[in-house]
Amino acid sequence: MIVGGQSLVTSPPVFSHDGKKLLVCTGCTVSVFSTTTGMLITELEGHTERVTSIVVVPVAGTVGTKFSDYCWTASLDGMIFYWDFSTPDLLKKVNVQLPVHSFVIPNILSASLGRSDKASQNLYAFISVEDANKEVENGKHLHGSIQIYDLTNSTRAGGVLAETHKPETLAISKSGEFVGIKKQKQLNIWRVPNKNLKSVNMKKLKLHHTRTLSCLAFHPTKCIVAAGDVSGRILIWRGFGKMRHSQDGGGKMKIDMGDRPGVRGEDDADSCSTWHWHSSEIKFLMFSSDEAYLFSGAKEGVIVVWQLDTGNKTYKPNIGSPLMYFTDSPDPSLSCVSCEDNQIHLLRMPSMDIIKSISGIKPPLILSELQGDRSRVTIGCDRSIGFVALPTKDYRIQFFSLLDGTDISHLQVIERNYDPVDETTVFISLVEVSDDGSMMSTVEEKLPEMGIGGLISLKFWIRGSHTGQYTLSTIIYEPHNNAGVSDMAFCPGRSMAVSTSYCGNFKVWVNNSSFIHSGDEIQEKGGWRCQSVSSYKEIPMTAAAFSGDGSVLAVAAETKITLWDPLNNVLVAIIGDSLGPIRQLAFVGSSEYIMSFSSGTKADLVVWNISNLSTHWSYKLLVEDICCTRSETRVAVLALLSSSDKSISTGKDGMVLVFDVENPIPVSTWFVKKAKGGRLSFINNKLGEATDGKLLLAYINGEHNYVLFDPSNVKEQEDLIPKSARRPQSYAHDENVSHGYASIYGELPSFDLTKARSSDSIPFVSSERPWETIFSGSSHALPPLSKLCSPFLESLLEKAEKQTVLSQ
């Protein structure tokens, strides 16, 4: 079983202490990527719920050996784990019992688990937990709370620091001195005392603002905190907490209301300045490691670099997607930015060039303004190689390999500039890949403005020399006048395609082009032309499918299925009514059955017998997708459970059923989550020797998480989003890229004090070949050249003499 497609951007990624690895929360696991190759090294598996935050243990100076890769991870399952992620081993489990949304360890430098002495401090963590069962107090639903937890002893240390409506993300300053959260319109900041960390003696500092805050960041050294709000403003408080934190004893606070520009009320800060450039909610704030700049990012997809002293700003390259998080690494020349389109870009720092991109499967297109059946954006699937073609927001198609879990390539479909701020008016509504992957068709739609200027165009693509490389063959504008294309199907074994439309006709397209290979590029003459147009009683055509040998074309005319001879454009037969308009058709292998399902209020799943034009069996199920094999009689059905079902409560809203087409009783059933918008496909398992080329069933859920499994092996009723079985792509040993000092000057020789001392004591013995060592040594220790010259020349002479002797 292969699982993949997890979002890489649910939580901020974290760099390892040497900047060579990047730890990314991917669902229940933590994936460790190499920053030099951008590939997956290993995965930390153990959590049973989504991992929410990671804290990497920094190397503590003298004690740290070269291979100390330790980290803490927290998850929604209420566990905090301690890992050695180089091996990877789970070292320690701490049960917090409440779902942890965020946690930080302020004194991680001074206290280190395991290797530290008994005398040293306990390790404390600030955790942000969610307590859903908490009683309602004063009419407020305070689900989130901030607590301190003793990780060494696995006990809660003290009471609750703060309560929030929902669990908040904790921020910590680099030195570990301050910990803060945003709490609606205010910031709560705690100074962490060096010793005796108990919630009792924690002083809370509040900074107020008039709008809801969205993120915050601490300056690495100074008492400066920056916060962003939902309107795109950035607030910078300088010199916060001087009074409260300094007058720890509780002396009287004197606040001169005079020279504190921008500070609200009795907030404890010297000044507060506001910068405004972003037009939407600030997603991240981050101070640069040299303390001179502040980076901010929002929906625009541009990293704005603010000069901290002046407020001047510059803009760094447009990433082209809404930004989520920005993480800097211990290596000052490396940082990374996470984008909403499930990509993490590694940036070379001062210039912010993208070095590498770690990209996951693209999130599904969400078209808010599209209602009804038009909202269905289909994704293409290549059965032979096992990749899916997913339309993305920035007018491209991503080819994603399900078997490898990697992004193969991107194809620009619509030649338009993408701006993340714009609402979606142009989109790819349909992607269809032929069974062998050699042809692809895309349908793009431009929505009209007040009824003006809508445009639908159909594009045919031909595969190039590499997988996932397609070249544009033909563009057909308005293939069915201004009516939308409801479905596309490719004829197996022939370059023929059919497109059906809501205006009541379907067109058969043929490709009679010849290819001219000129160098690397394939030039094409001719292209796709319409061979025939047909309609059946002007009823909207909603789905199409070719039979396995390509001799029969089935087109659904709302509730009826019409069978055609695609070559001669002759109507062969009509099969009677389903309950609702048919959404999809599929021929079952080479058998005489055809399967259809319809959606809406009268949803059903029907298997029709072509030979006697009758219903074979049917279910009254709300089906999301069906999938048939080309050779066998197995069919897989993804059905949505109605809300009355019990399993909804567990989050599972759909099920995958595998039938043998002869028999209406399912062979096996699995319950799945997020089935709405899901997709099923059979994929040839070319890689696994164990399953001997058996077909794998791929299930992609509505959030584009996917699972590949052999339907005959996996036990029924099993949870279909299990732990990962992905193979790491690369191993740590293949990356010996030096950085920092070593990249410029090379590795320093390992300096061993004891050895150096011992060598002093050894008396100098002149070597056999003095010309090699005579000049070695530091320059001030060498005797003058005039003295050295004669022994050097002598040594050479000696050698010559010896040689002559030997030759004699």
Partner 1 sequence: MYLQSPLPLGNCGTRLCFPYEELDVSDLNDWTPRPWLALQNPSEAVTRPPALSTEYTTKTKRSEAMMADEATRRVFPTEPASHLRPRSRSVKSLVSTPESSFWRTFRSSTLHPSYLHLPITSLSFSPNSSLLAAASSTSVRVFSSLSLSEYDPTLFATLPLPDLAYSPSFRCDGALIAAGCENGAVRVFDLPNDKPPKTLRRLNAHSCASRVVGFPLLDHKLRLFSAGDDALFVQWDLPTETPLFSVPGAHRDYIRAGAPSPVSPDVFVTGSYDHTVKIWDARVNSGTSSVLSINHGHPVESVLFLPSGGLVATAGGNTIKIWDVIAGGKPVYSVETHNKTVTALTLAKVRDDTRLLSVSIDGYLKSFDFSRFKITHSMRYPAPLLSVAFSPTGTIRVVGTNNGAMYMGIKKKKDEFEDQVGSDDFAWSVPLPEKPTSRKNIRYFKRGQSEKPSEGDFIIKRPEKVKLKEHDRLLRKFLHKDALVSVLKTQQTTSIMAVLEELVARRKLIKCISNLDNDELKLLLSFISKKATQPWCARFFMDLAKWVLEIRAEDIRSGGPEMAVHVRNLRSMVAHEIQVQRSLQEIQGMISPLLVIAGK
Residues 695-714 interacting with partner 1 (rule: CB under 8 A):
708
- Closest approach, Cβ 506 to partner 1, in A, equals 20
Q: Applying CB under 8 A, does 455 fall inside the site for partner 1?
A: yes
CB nearer to partner 1: give 150 or 281.
Answer: 281
Residue 343 binds to partner 1 (criterion: CB under 8 A): yes
Please say whether the beta carbons of 471 and 464 come within 8 A: yes
Closer by beta carbon to partner 1, 171 or else 337 = 337
Binding partner 1 (rule: CB under 8 A), the pick from 10, 121, 425, 615 is: 425
Cα(552)–Cα(587) distance, rounded to whole angstroms? 10
The correct pick among 2, 216, 236, 336 for binding partner 1 (CB under 8 A) is 2
Contacts of 113 (CB under 8 A, 6+ apart): 57, 82, 92, 123, 151, 152
Interface stretch with partner 1, choices 317-325, 574-582, 672-680, 754-762 (CB under 8 A): 317-325
Give 426 or 714: the residue with its C-beta nearer to partner 1: 426
| Given 11, 52, 68, 406, the residue binding partner 1 (CB under 8 A) | 406
| One residue of 45, 49, 291, 404 binding partner 1 per CB under 8 A | 404
* Positions in 357-376 near partner 1 (CB under 8 A): 357-359
Q: Extract the tokens encoding 529.
A: 């032309």
Given the complex with partner 1, which of 469 and 668 has the nearer CB atom? 469
338 binds partner 1, rule: CB under 8 A:
no
Minimum distance from residue 221 beta carbon to partner 1 (Å): 29
Of residues 79 and 302, the one with the C-beta less far from partner 1: 302
55-63, 473-481, 713-721, 799-807 -> range binding partner 1 (CB under 8 A): 473-481
Taking residues 761 to 780 in sequence order and writing x for each that binds partner 1 by CB under 8 A, - otherwise, the string is: --------------------
Stretch that binds partner 1, among 166-174, 190-198, 297-305, 657-665 (CB under 8 A): 297-305
Which of 132, 136, 665, 690 is close enough to bind partner 1 by CB under 8 A? 690
694 binds partner 1 (CB under 8 A): no
For the CA atoms of 46, 48, 53, 57, the dihedral, rounded to the nearest 10 degrees, stands at: -20
Residue (33 or 237) nearer to partner 1, CB: 33
As a dihedral over the C-alpha atoms of residue 775, residue 780, residue 781, residue 782, rounded to 10 degrees, the angle is 30
E strands along 171-223, which residues?
171-172, 178-183, 186-191, 204-208, 213-218
Q: What is the DSSP string of 24-36?
A: EEETTEEEEEETT
Q: Is 277 in the site for partner 1 (CB under 8 A)?
A: yes
Strand residue runs (E) in 192-329: 204-208, 213-218, 224-229, 233-238, 271-276, 284-287, 293-297, 304-307, 313-315, 323-328
| Among 354, 510, 667, 732, contact with partner 1 (rule: CB under 8 A) | 354
Residues of span 497-536 touching partner 1 by CB under 8 A = none
Nearest distance in Å: CB 476, partner 1: 9
Q: Kindly identify the residues of this chain, within the stretch 435-454, that bind partner 1 according to CB under 8 A.
A: 446, 448-454
Does residue 729 interact with partner 1 by CB under 8 A? Answer: yes
Structure letter (DSSP) for residue 647: G
Closer to partner 1 by CB, 430 or 458: give it. Answer: 458
Which residues in the 68-107 window bind partner 1 by CB under 8 A? none
What's the token pair of residue 725? 């079985």
Q: Which two tokens stand for residue 270?
A: 């010297």
300 binds partner 1 (CB under 8 A): yes
> CA 412, CA 420: separation in Å to the nearest integer?
16
Q: Which of residues 4-63 bind partner 1 (CB under 8 A)?
A: 37-39
Of residues 180 and 320, the one with the C-beta less far from partner 1: 320
Q: Does 417 bind partner 1 (CB under 8 A)?
A: yes
Measured from the CB atom, the residue of 33 and 240 that comes closer to partner 1 is 33
Q: Tell which one of 689, 692, 760, 768 touches partner 1 (CB under 8 A).
A: 689
In order of 291, 608, 639, 648, 655, the CA distances from 622 in angstroms are 57, 18, 6, 15, 11
Alpha carbon separation from 493 to 55, 466, 496, 497, 500 (Å, rounded): 54, 20, 9, 11, 20
Among candidates 285, 175, 297, which has minimal Cα distance to 237?
Answer: 285
The DSSP line for 458-519 is: EEEEEE-SSTT-EEEEEEEESEEEESPEEEEEEPTTSSEEEEEETTSEEEEEEE--EEEEET
Q: How many CB atoms lie within 10 A of CB 177?
A: 18
Would you call 291 exposed, middle or buried from its count of C-beta atoms within 10 A (0-12, 13-18, 19+)?
middle
Is the alpha carbon torsion for 306, 308, 309, 311 positive or negative?
A: positive
Task: Please tell me the count of residues contacting partner 1 according to CB under 8 A.
Answer: 72
Using rule CB under 8 A, residue 384 touches partner 1: no
Q: Is 500 exposed, middle or buried (0-12, 13-18, 19+ CB in 10 A)?
A: buried
Closest distance to partner 1 from the beta carbon of 524 (Å): 16
Q: Distance (Å, rounded) from C-alpha 712 to C-alpha 632?
A: 13
Give least dist CB 564 to partner 1, A: 18
Residue 669 in the binding site for partner 1 (CB under 8 A)? no
Instruction: Choose which of 687, 714, 732, 774 interacts with partner 1 (CB under 8 A).
Output: 687
Q: Is 412 in the site for partner 1 (CB under 8 A)?
A: yes
Cα separation, 484 vs 476, whole angstroms:
13
With binding defined as CB under 8 A, does residue 685 bind partner 1?
Answer: yes
Using H for helix, E for strand and C for coil, what is the string for 522-574? Answer: EEEECCEEEEEEEECCCCCEEEEEECCCCCCEEEEECCEEEEEECCCCEEEEE
80 touches 54 (CB < 8 A): no
Distance from the Cα of residue 598 to its chain's centroid: 33
Residue whose CB is less far from partner 1, 392 or 486: 392
582 binds partner 1 (CB under 8 A): no
Single out the segment in contact with partner 1 by CB under 8 A; choices: 166-174, 407-415, 608-616, 656-664: 407-415
Nearer to partner 1, 572 or 687 (CB): 687
